[in-house]
Structure formats: C-alpha cells, structure tokens
Structure 1
Amino acid sequence: MKRFGVQSALLVALSFVLGMSEYIIIGILNDLAATFDVSITKVGFLVTSFAFIYALATPIVTVMVGKHRLYNALTLLFIVFTIGNILTALAPNYTILNISRIITAVVSGPAVSISITFAAFIAPPRKRAWLVSWVFSGFSVASVFGVPLGTWMSDHWGWRVVFWIIAGITIILMILVSRSLPKELTQGPATRIIEQLAIFKDKRIMLGILLPTLNLAGVYVVYTYLRPLAVSGLHFSDNFVTVVLFAYGFAALLSNQISGRIANQEGLKTMEKVYLFQGLSLLLLPLFFDFKWIALLDLFVLGFTMYLLNSPIQIFYMGVAESSYPQSMVLSSSFNSIFSNLGIAIGSATGGGLVSSFGLKSLGIGGAVYTAIALVVLLVLNHHLRQNEY
C-alpha cells in the first residue's frame, strides 16, 4: 500500500511539471511580449501552436510505443521534455522560443498517456477513477500553484528562471521514478499500427473524442487571455493578477477532484447539466464587465467547470478499449490529452481572432458557441449509449 502511495504521488508530480510547462505561458504573456518585442496576440499563438502540435504528435508517437516497455518510453520522453525546457530558458529570440515549445509539445502528450496507463495498471479497480482524476489534477495543481508562483518568479527574477526550475524538477522526478514504477509493463499485443488505430472506427469513440475538444475550445477562448482580461478588461492591478490566477487554478483543481466523483456515479449523464452551467457563465461574462467582482466570480465558475469532464471521459475511453480494443490501451489513454489540446488550439486561436477584431468583451460569447455544440454532441452520445446498453 505504501508503494502504491509513492507511485501515485510520482505520477501526479509528473503531470504537474507537464502542466506547469504548458500553462505557464498564460501567466507570462506580457513578459514574453516585452522580451521579444512582439504583440500579446503573437505570444498567445504559442499556446495555440503548443496545443496543436501536442494534439498532432501524440497519436503518432503513442502508436510508435507499440509493444516496447512503457518505462523505457516514459524515460526517453522526459529526457526530450527536459531538453525542450532548457532550450526555452536559453531562447535568444522568438523563433527559437517557438521551436523549443514545439519540441516540448511533441513529447508532452505521449508522456501523459503513458502516465495514465501506469495509473490504470497500478491502481486496484475501486481506486482507478480516483487515481486517474489525481493524475489529471496534477495539471490543475500546476494551474493553482505553479502558474501563479511562476508568474510571481517571472515578475521578480525573469521568466527564464521558471523553465530552469521545471527542468531541474523533472530530472529529480525521473530519478525517483526509476526506483518506483514497474519496468516490464507493456500494453496489449498489436502486430501492426493499423490494429491500434481500429478503435477510431467505433461510433462511441468518434462521438466521445469531440467532447474534450469542444469543452476546452469553449473555455480557452477566455482562459488564454485571462491576464489581459483581468488587467485591461476588468481593470485589476498587475499585482492582483497572481491572486486571480491562483483562485482560477484552485477552481480548476476542485473541478478535477469533483470529476473523479462524477466518474464513479452517473458519469457522462451528469455532464449535460455541467454544459448548461458552463454555457451560461460564458454568455453572462460580457454583461458583467462593468461589475468586475461579479465578472471575476463568473470566471471562477468557468474554472470550476473546466475539468469536470476529465475522469468520466477518460474512464469511458479506457472502458471501450479494455472491452473491445485491448491493443489500443495506451492510445485510448491519450485521447483526452490529444483532443483537449486540439480544443485548446482552437479556443486560443478563436480568442486571438475575437480580441483582434471585436475586443475582450467578445470572448464569452465565442466560448459559449463551442459549449453549446458540446452539449448537443453529449446528448447524442448519451442517447447512443442508452440504446446500446454500454
């Protein structure tokens, strides 16, 4: 039991550094723009490009894992991840910065997928949803503590220090992982890559992968521009932004924890009510601009809905894979990460276009459109599952 606790803590810590590396850009948008003398919108493109490359590379790298030992694959991925963060810390110009983020994005998705596969393997059945939700919570912890702390360090010592710290923590964690995780674990047998991809022909999966895409597209229309929204839109001080990021991250952390409970109860059925709630919070946001504290509370409500889908949809993917596509376990573990990041890319790009064309007030309405589509897809999926008694 003690060993399970250590293994669980390490998997959560690994997701924390992955989340910290991905999300910290949101907290240091202004600092990067000043360093490289580019616009906020252009720095916001780093969020879009990272998420797009993450979504594109994850299935390709994941299927290449094949029958190789997952521990060896995880180690290699984190070596590249460390190199990517060091290159970010050293970046002399915006082009090199972009390249370093692409390197990091390529390996981040597969690393999450393998971590979740380890979680499913080491956890007893009654604790599986709990551990999966905590692995995802590593990203929320990065939002709640890592991004505000990283923003504060960037303001005081420079943003490059943040990426040196991420690289250092990763090295320490991999030393600990080498002594704790099982080294012989592989996924189910697959003789060809095409066999792993067969899972995409399943109608349940085809509908299911749309949900994280639309969910985070809706949220990231707003979240990508949270700092300019707080400072320029709601007129909070720069010093208060750290508090805003912390509070938003705390709401997201709570979201992940409640997500595990939803997965153990009614799962995707409950998400119908969540999307109604999320869509309402997005629609109301532009109406609250003249009441900044109410607008801030509305943003925290949005943060709370942000990750409620994580555990129900992850358990759903892995359940389909276990019953029908055992050769695709690692690939199915990556679906939430892949399509969430596709949603992040879509949402951040949409947010950038809206800010450039219509201003910050348009963000909420743009996000609500994606949430409305997510609700329709979810209703269709739940109807299909009821009809087929999944």
Structure 2
Amino acid sequence: MPIAVYALTAGAFGIGVTEFVIMGLLLQVSADLGVSIPAAGLLVSGYALGVFIGAPVLTIATRNLPRKTVLIALMVIFTLGNLACALAPNYAALMAARVLTALAHGTFFGVGSVVAAGLVAPERRASAIALMFTGLTVATLLGVPFGAWLGLEYGWRATFWAVAGIGVFAVAVLALLVPRDTAGVEPVHLAEELAVLRRPQVLLGLLMTVLGFGGVFAVFSYIQPILVTIAGFSEEAVSPILLIFGVGLILGNLVGGRLADWRLMPALFATLAALVVIMLLATFAVHERIAAIACVGLLGAAAFATVAPLQLRVLEAAGGAGQTLASSLNIAAFNLGNALGAWLGGVVIDHGPGLGAVTAVAALMPAGAIAVALWSVTLERRGAVAARA
C-alpha cells in the first residue's frame, strides 16, 4: 500500500479514539457532572449528530481546496475540540465541545476514502479503504482501553488531554506523509455534487449504513453498564474486555475489505446477517462472563466487517464528481446511525424492557438494513432488465 494510506490511518486513529473513548467513561462522566447514565450516553449522540451536520457542510465548503490542506485543517479542528472537552466546566459545555470535535470527522473520512481509493488499483479499493479505517479499529483496540484506564485513574479530563496530544501528532504525520495534489484541484460545481442525492441507489446505500451501524451503537454506547451491571464485571475489568472488542474490529475490518473486493453485495449481506445473529446471541450470553467476553469480540468483528462494503457500495453508486460528497454523507450516515442507536438504547433502558434487552432490540436495525439491501438489489436488477429491453 502507498505510504499516504498509512498517513490517513494515523489521522483515523486520532479521530477514532475521541469518538469511542466516551463509552468507557460514561460512569465517571455521569458521576462527576451529576447526570444520569442515559444523559451521559447522549454525548455519543451529540458527537454523532455533529458528524452528520459537519460532513456535508464542510465537504461542500472545501470541495475546491487541495485535499491535503483540507485533511490537515480538519485535524486542527479535531485537536482544538478535544482541548475544549478537557476544559469543559459542565455537561452543556462538554456536549458543545464534543459537537465541535465531531465537525471534522465526516469530511476527514469522506475525503480520505476517496484519496485512499484513488491511490490503488480498482480491484484493491475496498482494501485501501479498510486499511484507512483500521485507524479506527486500532483506536478501539489500544486507545479506548487506555483512555478508559486513564480516566479511571486520573479522571476523565485526563483522557481528553491525551487525545488532544494524539491530534497534534496526527497533524504532523499528515503534513509529512500525504502528498500534495499533484494534478491540482478541478473546480466542482455545487450542482454536480448535489446531483448525487437524486440517485436512488445512493440513498438506499446511505439508509443501509444508518440501520446497520445504528444497531452496533445501540449496544456499544452502553457496553460499560451492560458488562458491569448484567455480566457482573468490575469497572476495572471493562478496559481489558474492550481490548477483545478492538481485536474483533481489526479482524472484521480487514476481512470485510477483502470480501468486498471479491464480491461486494454478497459481502454486504453476509456481514449484516452476522451482526443480527451475534446481537441476538448476546442477549443470552451477557449473563455468563466467558460467553459475554466472546460476544464482545464477535460484535466488534461483525460491526467493522460491514464498514468497507457499506462505504464502497455508496462510492460505486455515486461515481464521478459526486463521490467525495457521497463518501462524506456515508460517514454522516454511520454517525446518524450511531446517534439513533445511542438514543434507542437509552429508550430501552429508561422506558422499555431495560438494559438486558438492549442487544435484542438493537438487532432489529441491521435486520432492517438487510431488507433495504434486498430492495436495492431488486431495483438494480429491474434497471438492468429495462436497459436490455
């Protein structure tokens, strides 16, 4: 792989830490700021909504700028946002800082996906995208457990100070390793970018992403309370268990990329189906410690096995000038799913059958994604038949 792909992976690592680390700090944040666990869980939703808003807005605003400049500027925003999180005096300020940090997320991954796919041969595009997203998985494997431990030992603010330091490092790596846009930047008219939103397959691809990852975050947003309250682990045990989740993410991400390079739609159906099955099994497995740990690892693998297929599906459906916006919108869709999932998990805890039912309810979302994928394939086949007629 070109070294620039690894530079993008470094930036993805920094963003991944700040996105996911809050899940390992929910109990500390809720106790320190005097809010409930579901309210603390809304910090996940706030971040995700920031991504959802920032991705299309910043992508359109920066569409004619050099991509390297855009990537570095976004990492600067990310770093400043984490500094604001570390200094937040109350819950409202922390929420605002999380939203600020999130603004950089969608456009970074949207632009980065297009750059990564353009650096390799067509048959390796999904693998290049998966390698960039490995930054997220390594963040979960190493950054999140370390951040959770750091928050437990020194307070949750120390974690955000550390993440800001990661941001400074990521800015330096991007500046050194990502090449300049050698061919310059071709001006793209806004109408050309927005035309992608008129393509039904793009919209269906975005809906698949929302539903697929919504189920993941309905569970993962409350993984600490599930492990502590239901499985009976201590708070100190959560960080090592998150390492297992991170190992699953890395393996699933790489396997998903390979499968998508082989056959895209079968890979998409298979990974979403695996997600449904594992969530249903987890409903029973969380009551037994060894089974709970195994399900955490399998959940991570199934969750990130869907990433490259979902991202490549939208890129292929978009094509042409609309790829960058479509790519960013799909990152926004991932995070809209995150927000909806975190909200759904909170509703199940506060007003539904309770914490123990979160995994079963969450399975309905990737099941819905499978239904949308079937509809997408049906429309595609009808279009192919009409074209031959």
Coarse TM-score class (shorter-chain normalised) = over 0.9
The 5 Å alignment of 1:1-390 reads 4-5=2-3, 7-184=4-181, 189-191=187-189, 193-322=190-319, 326-357=320-351, 358-388=353-383
Alpha-carbon offset, residue 124 of structure 1: 3.6
Structure 1 counterpart of 2:62, which letter? V
Partner SS, residue 180 of structure 2: coil
Note closer, same or farther for the CA distance 1:201–1:234 as it changes in structure 2 (3 Å cut): same
Conserved 8 A contact 1:87-1:100: yes
Cα distance in 2, alignment partners of residues 250 and 188 from structure 1? 40
Partner SS, residue 334 of structure 1: helix
Conserved 8 A contact 2:124-2:261: no
Conserved 8 A contact 1:187-1:329: no
Conserved 8 A contact 1:187-1:330: no
TM-score relative to the length of structure 2: 0.93
Conserved 8 A contact 2:267-2:309: no
Alpha-carbon offset, residue 241 of structure 1: 0.8
User: Per-residue displacement from partner, 1:268-319 (whole Å, max 9, x unpaired)?
Assistant: 2233233333222222333334333223323332221102222122222222
TM-score relative to the length of structure 1: 0.93
Conserved 8 A contact 1:50-1:101: yes
Structure 2 counterpart of 1:341, which letter? N
Alpha-carbon offset, residue 329 of structure 1: 2.5
Conserved 8 A contact 2:44-2:342: yes
Cα distance in 2, alignment partners of residues 22 and 201 from structure 1? 31
Give the stretch that moved more between structures: 10-19 or 352-361: 352-361
User: Per-residue displacement from partner, 1:26-48 (whole Å, max 9, x unpaired)?
Assistant: 01111111221211111100001
Alpha-carbon offset, residue 320 of structure 1: 3.1
User: Per-residue displacement from partner, 1:118-165 (whole Å, max 9, x unpaired)?
Assistant: 212333434432221011111111111110011111112222222222
Cα distance in 2, alignment partners of residues 265 and 134 from structure 1? 16
Cα distance in 2, alignment partners of residues 228 and 53 from structure 1? 24
Structure 2 counterpart of 1:359, which letter? G
Identity %: 29
- Where structure 1 has 5 or more consecutive residues not aligned to the other structure, the ranges are none
Conserved 8 A contact 1:188-1:327: no
User: Per-residue displacement from partner, 1:248-271 (whole Å, max 9, x unpaired)?
Assistant: 121111111111111111112233
Alpha-carbon offset, residue 246 of structure 1: 0.8
Partner SS, residue 209 of structure 1: helix
Cα distance in 1, alignment partners of residues 174 and 51 from structure 2? 23
User: Per-residue displacement from partner, 1:79-110 (whole Å, max 9, x unpaired)?
Assistant: 21111111111111111111110100112111
Structure 2 counterpart of 1:130, which letter? S
Conserved 8 A contact 1:24-1:150: yes
> Over the residues paired in the alignment, what is the CA RMSD in angstroms?
1.9
The count of corresponding residues between Structure 1 and Structure 2 is 383
Conserved 8 A contact 2:11-2:75: no
Partner SS, residue 177 of structure 2: coil
Conserved 8 A contact 1:188-1:329: no
Structure 2 counterpart of 1:165, which letter? A
Cα distance in 2, alignment partners of residues 173 and 368 from structure 1? 35
Partner SS, residue 54 of structure 1: helix
